[in-house]
Structure 1
Amino acid sequence: MRRPFRMVHSQFSKTQTTSQRPSRSPSLMHSWDILLMTNKSHITNDVSLAVQALNAGDVVAIPTETVYGLAALAQNAHAVEKVYVIKGRPRSHPLIVHVASLEAAKMWGELNTEAQLLAEHFWPGPLTLLVPRTALVPDWITGGRDTVAIRVPNHSVTLKMLHELGDAVVAPSANKFGKVSPTTTQHVLDDLGGEVGVILEGGLCDIGLESTIVECIDGATILRPGAISVDDVQQV
């Protein structure tokens, strides 16, 4: 990168690291398996069912390479409000928009040269870019700020869902605010119980650590170190 990176305190919340959670043996579950356990939530590997639920304005727990996220259509104010309520998350905390591709990201944010280079290098992957928002972005996902946080997750199940959905979702970690981030569907059930009707199975998250956040407005500023190291970002 031509400009030096800066490190500042992030406005984005950081939950406890997943290493603090007791380890579990993840197992893929069919939707009928979970119905034997609860009639409020069920785990499924049916992407179309998750898409249907999202389009209906429901909240869906989805897998990513970092942690499981609590997804809702980004442009559906009522659905996004459900995310805030379920998590107990302050409305002033902006949400990360998850999209299927770099081209889709450009509909939501204005990517400068630094952002473009980082996206081309790390996406799909655990990098979130904070960039100036476009007119498409509603206030309810940004806390009224002029910027928006965007990333393309590197998980085949969720990428398939996003492509089938043809839209963007917000997806903070699928846990109560301030709690340990979930890396399996069982973790989501343990923390959120019947508050989420559909949980999309994606196995154990590969990384188990939140994405790195880089602000790309005037140069590049690392707001939150995460799955991608500071050194890796600076070498781009």
Structure 2
Amino acid sequence: MKTKVAMLSENAVDKRIINDAALKIRDGGIVAFPTETVYGLGADALNEKAVAKIFEAKGRPQDNPLIIHVADFNIDEYVTEVPDMAKDIMQKFWPGPITIILNKKEIVPSITSAGLDTIGIRMPQNNIARELIKASGVPIAAPSANISGRPSPTDMESCVEDLDGKVDYIIGGENSIVGVESTIVDCTVNPICVLRPGAVTLEMLQTVDSNAYIDPAILSKPKEDFRPKAPGMKYRHYAPKAPVKIVSGEIDKVVAKISEMVLNYNEQDKKVGVIATDETKDLYKNQIVVSLGSRENLNDIGKNLFKVLRSFDSMDVNIILCEAFEEVGVGTAIMNRLKKSAGFDILEV
């Protein structure tokens, strides 16, 4: 397959390129495009054959449901009802990095929802994404635009690396400003339940529903027979080529432990990568160190996370050791992605 690649500016969208890509969507093709969270790989959410191409291009498990992306608040065509709590979330956080789970209508194919009676819906903040949805005239089903299991792409170059020759079109734009996938909140239950943490934090959602909580299923390694209700709940995700191990505890003890582990791995002739922060990067010696940013700015940490994880693939490291973060606010989303990338391999010190 020949993949067309085009670069756009979010502030001055070239309608010719948008219309060209939208035609691919309407014809049953698949298109990678930028959003504020990560880049997405989109197809007509109501076209079974088109959605199947997403799973094929990504190598994505069939029981991992997709999210459909819309350009406005008019979602009654796709869901049986929109509860008041869901309306409150939409009014407060749409467009933006949050997906709401609702009971779906039959118009949404089973392949899009992975056989579930529910579907996730979100309205992206990114202008290129919304213009593409509008021009397509259909809701766009879109997981992240990467090979399944790899760190999600936050720039066009990563999309091309993973998907060139596998998709019809790759639209580039600015790098994703959030850097982790959208928060997913189940609005079919009361109180509402977070199925995937993101930039819209639990604390923010509790201003809408004070009883909102995080599903305990995402806090530990899922069992093999677990049936995910939202993307990213079951499978190992966000993983670079080298295995990742997280070290958690007081930061001085974490630095000491990682430094000790580096020496042990070096004695085994293993090349080690360390994911650190601005506050700690100069404390590590004799290994490759990449900083995620300052611990004082978790939004920047989240924005840089996937790019840093991907960067180790070109460094030929044998193992990656990563500092943990406090699971508060955006830190919950950061640790959720790190735990997935590490297959829940965490050392407490």
Match of 2:77 in 1: 107
- What is the identity, as a one-letter code, of the residue corresponding to 1:108? Y
Query: 8 Å contact 2:110–2:116 — kept in the other structure?
Result: yes
Output the CA distance in 2 between the equivalents of 1:91 and 1:161. Answer: 25
Output the CA distance in 2 between the equivalents of 1:91 and 1:167. Answer: 22
Output the CA distance in 1 between the equivalents of 2:176 and 2:184. Answer: 19
- What is the identity, as a one-letter code, of the residue corresponding to 1:232? M
Give the secondary-structure state (helix, strand or coil) at the position aligned to 1:102: coil
**2:163 aligned residue (192, 197, 200):** 192
Query: 8 Å contact 2:55–2:62 — kept in the other structure?
Result: yes
- What is the identity, as a one-letter code, of the residue corresponding to 1:142? S
Query: 8 Å contact 1:175–1:192 — kept in the other structure?
Result: yes
Output the CA distance in 2 between the equivalents of 1:85 and 1:217. Answer: 30
Query: 8 Å contact 2:5–2:172 — kept in the other structure?
Result: no
Answer yes or no: is 1:201 the counterpart of 2:172.
yes
Q: Which moved more, 1:148-157 or 1:200-209?
A: 200-209
Answer yes or no: is 1:77 the counterpart of 2:48.
yes
- What is the identity, as a one-letter code, of the residue corresponding to 2:182? S
C-alpha deviation, 1:203, in angstroms: 1.5
Query: 8 Å contact 1:43–1:185 — kept in the other structure?
Result: no
**2:5 aligned residue (42, 45, 49):** 42
Give the secondary-structure state (helix, strand or coil) at the position aligned to 2:77: helix
Query: 8 Å contact 2:47–2:109 — kept in the other structure?
Result: no
Output the CA distance in 2 between the equivalents of 1:163 and 1:96. Answer: 17
Cα distance change on mapping 1:228 and 1:84 into 2, 3 Å? same
Give the secondary-structure state (helix, strand or coil) at the position aligned to 2:88: helix
Encode CA deviations 1:60-111: one digit per residue, 9 max, x unaligned: 00111100000000111111111001111111111000011111x2221221
Output the CA distance in 1 between the equivalents of 2:84 and 2:3. Answer: 46
Kindly name which structure, 1 or 2, has the bigger radius of gyration based on alpha carbons: 2
Answer yes or no: is 1:223 the counterpart of 2:186.
no
Output the CA distance in 2 between the equivalents of 1:57 and 1:39. Answer: 15
Answer yes or no: is 1:167 the counterpart of 2:138.
yes
Cα distance change on mapping 1:39 and 1:73 into 2, 3 Å? closer
Give the secondary-structure state (helix, strand or coil) at the position aligned to 2:76: helix
Cα distance change on mapping 1:39 and 1:59 into 2, 3 Å? closer
What is the RMSD of the two structures over their aligned residues, measured on CA atoms? 1.4
Output the CA distance in 2 between the equivalents of 1:135 and 1:102. Answer: 19
Give the secondary-structure state (helix, strand or coil) at the position aligned to 1:84: helix
Output the CA distance in 2 between the equivalents of 1:171 and 1:158. Answer: 11
Query: 8 Å contact 1:130–1:215 — kept in the other structure?
Result: yes
Identity %: 37
Encode CA deviations 1:130-166: one digit per residue, 9 max, x unaligned: 1111232111111111111100011111111111222
C-alpha deviation, 1:44, in angstroms: 4.4
Give the secondary-structure state (helix, strand or coil) at the position aligned to 1:208: coil
- TM-score (ref. length: structure 1): 0.80
Output the CA distance in 2 between the equivalents of 1:166 and 1:202. Answer: 21
- TM-score (ref. length: structure 2): 0.55
Compare relative contact order (CA 8 Å, sep 6+) and give the higher one, 1 or 2. 1
Output the CA distance in 1 between the equivalents of 2:106 and 2:71. Answer: 19
Output the CA distance in 2 between the equivalents of 1:121 and 1:80. Answer: 30
